[in-house]
Amino acid sequence: MKSARTKMYQRRAAMLLLLLSVTLSSCDIYDYDGDENASAVPAGGYFYLLERSTVSLIMLDAQLREIKKWALYPVINDSSLQGITFDGESVWISSAGSADKIYQLDLSGDTASVVRSYDAPPSGQGTVRDIAWAEGSLWALNSGSSTYKSPATLYELNPLTGAILSQIAIPSPEPRALAYIQGYTNVYGSGIEAGLYYTDPELDKIYRYRFDRPYFDTLFSTPQPPRGVSYNFAVGLTFDGSTFWEINSSDVADHLYRINYLGTVLDRYDLPYSEPGPIVWTKTDVRGGVMPSIAALLPNNGAAGRTLDVEIYGTGFKPSSTVQFGADITVNSTSYLSATLLKSNITIAASAPAGKRSVTVTNPGGKVFTLDSAFTISLVTTIPYLWVADQASTQRYLYKIRLTDTTVVQEWSTSDVASDGVQGVGFDGTDIWLSYSGTTKTLYKVDVSGAGLGILSSVSVNQLPGVLRGIVFDNGFMWQAASQTASGAGKIYKINLATGVVVDSVSTPGAEVRGITFANGVLYCNDTSLDSIYAYNPLSGTWSSVFAVPTPAGGTTSNRFSTGLTWDGQSFWIANSTGDFDHIYNVTASGVVVRSFAAPRLGAAQVTGIVFREE
């Protein structure tokens, strides 16, 4: 059997012999014989095609006429285009070169822009190929790695974060094109089942993975180009609701095939492009732009009668985006700072009743997103703070950080209370608590009114095994995390502070639990050995991974070491403590990083517990 690489060399050799007699036509791909209403695609719609030689994205109409072309290299700074898909609103692409990333694009302007991006799975190993959108998830093909001895694999991803949700080994050696098909049945009751369909240019086959019966089978062979089997190289696959469309890219045999569900070629069109690649079909003209989204507001409250600036974090923002805050709030101006950040100056009416308001962002073309109960009108204006513990051996501090500008407004030496390091910081609604772990395991309620820390009360928890970590308050109880307990596992203890008695406990998903918090009544934790945020289900007694902790900018996954965890009512705050990658991240409930800032004393710090508090 000839490999895909052998076939490529054969094609290139043949191309040199044919160069004198073969030229690519620059005319329209589809000959509609003067009938302006004729269509190559009975279903209508548009094709979006990646062209690798020019590193561009080409939009074709139903008559296969090029109506728009976007240059992609200035946007992604990479030329190894591998995949394309459509999620119902926007186009996504994958690139396997130095970038090795997956991108969501905004194509509403003359130039393309990136809405979001993340590393292609699995962290630089193998080669990412085509991608497909299926039932709310993004699927990515990876052709595997001989260096890492990893097989070709299908990865299901969280489209917001890129976190791997599931993975399936592929039983063929060289997967390339990928498409999701919802299923099709003709008037006679025949058709194909829903699933993921992919090509393998080494075997010249199209395979499918069915969701109703999770296994792979062969659908049919890919079409053989007129110049022979050595020119068979299927790199693009899509479906228009009733027929397949396949791209064959092999030098002088660059074709677009229309194929029925039995594998019969219905039409073949010669493509006037040097290196056509993956393709996706949709009814949607994406030039209308992407839907904006709102992740968080800072601040997310204000008092009646006040005028203030509010930062709006999200995705898909445009220079002409508008913002509304609901009844009794006037938006004086909105500044576009980036595709992920707007700043609105607002005035709250003096007569405005207290309560929550929904916030709406509207993009050009009428794309609208509303975040319910995103902003609160309060009786008094509050300022958001993070309280952060640093237990480095040469410096042990508690910092009070104002989140509106990330300024450290005050710091205290935690050695004023005890010589051991602080692992957890909590807030009971009135006072700050510190969890010390070492020779004496003690929980301290501290007085932060002066230049030095004072002790208001303390509770000894020497009976708890393991290393004390994060703390959180809920319904009058303190919850204390502990790693490396006697059993080797992690535990979270529910403690009656009046007596110091443990009234309940929960085993953690890993042995290295660190931060814990409650969000909307649900217990969450992170774990430095698992690098994920987990949510606890008390009915089943099980944990589920919600999203991977952020990878520090400029670093790799090996630089992740999440310690503190807290919730501000809208989103999480996560502390990462690894030397020069000491950062604090604001992350949405789905795992999208809203913003981040360097921890105090970057590089020398050892950030542990954090807690959110408004004053």
Helix then strand then coil, in percent of the chain rounded to 5, is: 5, 50, 45
**Greater confidence, 19 or 165?**
165
Nearest to 229 by CA among 8, 446, 436: 8
What is the per-residue pLDDT for 13? 42
Is the separation of the CB atoms in 388 and 356 below 8 Å?
no
User: How many residues comprise the chain?
Assistant: 615
Token pair listed for 218: 């062969």
> Coil, strand or helix: which one is 5?
helix
What is the per-residue pLDDT for 12? 45
Residue 348 to residues 268, 376, 614, Cα–Cα distance (Å):
63, 11, 19
Nearest to 424 by CA among 530, 564, 569, 600: 564
What is the per-residue pLDDT for 36? 65
What is the per-residue pLDDT for 189? 82
Residue for token digits 């230049």?
451
Is the separation of the CB atoms in 281 and 46 below 8 Å?
yes
Task: Give the DSSP per-residue string, 497-555.
Answer: TTTTEEEEEEE-SSS-EEEEEEETTEEEEEETTTTEEEEEETTTTEEEEEEEPPPPTTS
Q: Write down the CATH superfamily of domain 291-378.
A: Immunoglobulins (2.60.40.10)
What is the per-residue pLDDT for 304? 92
Is the separation of the CB atoms in 357 and 376 below 8 Å?
yes
- Separation of alpha carbons 468 and 212, rounded Å: 46
Q: CATH 2.120.10.30: which residues of the chain?
A: 384-614
Is the separation of the CB atoms in 478 and 523 below 8 Å?
no
Q: How confident is the model at residue 438 (pLDDT cuts 50, 70, 90)?
A: confident
Radius of gyration (C-alpha) of the chain in whole angstroms: 28
Residue 324 to residues 66, 272, 396, 591, 611, Cα–Cα distance (Å):
38, 47, 44, 25, 30
What is the per-residue pLDDT for 291? 84
- Res. 232: pLDDT tops 80: yes
Token pair listed for 400: 């009070």
Q: How confident is the model at residue 21 (pLDDT cuts 50, 70, 90)?
A: very low
Task: Provide mean pLDDT across the span 259-282.
Answer: 94
pLDDT per residue as tens digits for the range 333-360: 999 988 889 999 999 999 999 999 999 9
**Greater confidence, 504 or 212?**
504
At the topology level, CATH places domain 4-21+46-287 in Neuraminidase (2.120.10)
Is the separation of the CB atoms in 47 and 245 below 8 Å?
yes
Nearest to 228 by CA among 198, 248, 200: 248
CATH of region 384-614: 2.120.10.30
Task: Provide mean pLDDT across the span 440-447.
Answer: 91
- Separation of alpha carbons 155 and 598, rounded Å: 32
**Greater confidence, 368 or 7?**
368
- Separation of alpha carbons 490 and 505, rounded Å: 10
- Res. 265: pLDDT tops 70: yes
Q: CATH 2.120.10.100: which residues of the chain?
A: 4-21+46-287
Is the separation of the CB atoms in 384 and 614 below 8 Å?
yes
- Separation of alpha carbons 540 and 234, rounded Å: 47
Neighbours of 381 (CB within 10 A): 15
Q: How confident is the model at residue 15 (pLDDT cuts 50, 70, 90)?
A: very low
What is the per-residue pLDDT for 30? 64
> Residue 27 carries which side chain, given as an amino acid letter?
C
33 contacts: CB under 8 Å, gap ≥ 6: none
What is the per-residue pLDDT for 11? 47
Among 4-18, 254-268, 273-287, 573-587, whose mean pLDDT is lowest? 4-18
Token pair listed for 515: 């931060």
pLDDT winner (highest mean) among 65-69, 145-149, 592-596: 65-69
> Helix count (H) and strand count (E) of the chain?
2, 50
pLDDT per residue as tens digits for the range 139-189: 999 998 877 788 999 999 988 888 888 999 999 989 999 999 988 888 788
For all residues of the chain together, what is the average pLDDT?
A: 88
Percent of the chain with pLDDT strictly greater than 70: 94
Please state the separation of Cα 606 from the chain's center in Å: 27
Token pair listed for 286: 């994406």
- Res. 19: pLDDT tops 70: no
What is the per-residue pLDDT for 563? 92
- Res. 4: pLDDT tops 80: no
Q: CATH 2.60.40.10: which residues of the chain?
A: 291-378
- Separation of alpha carbons 168 and 180, rounded Å: 15
- Separation of alpha carbons 316 and 587, rounded Å: 17
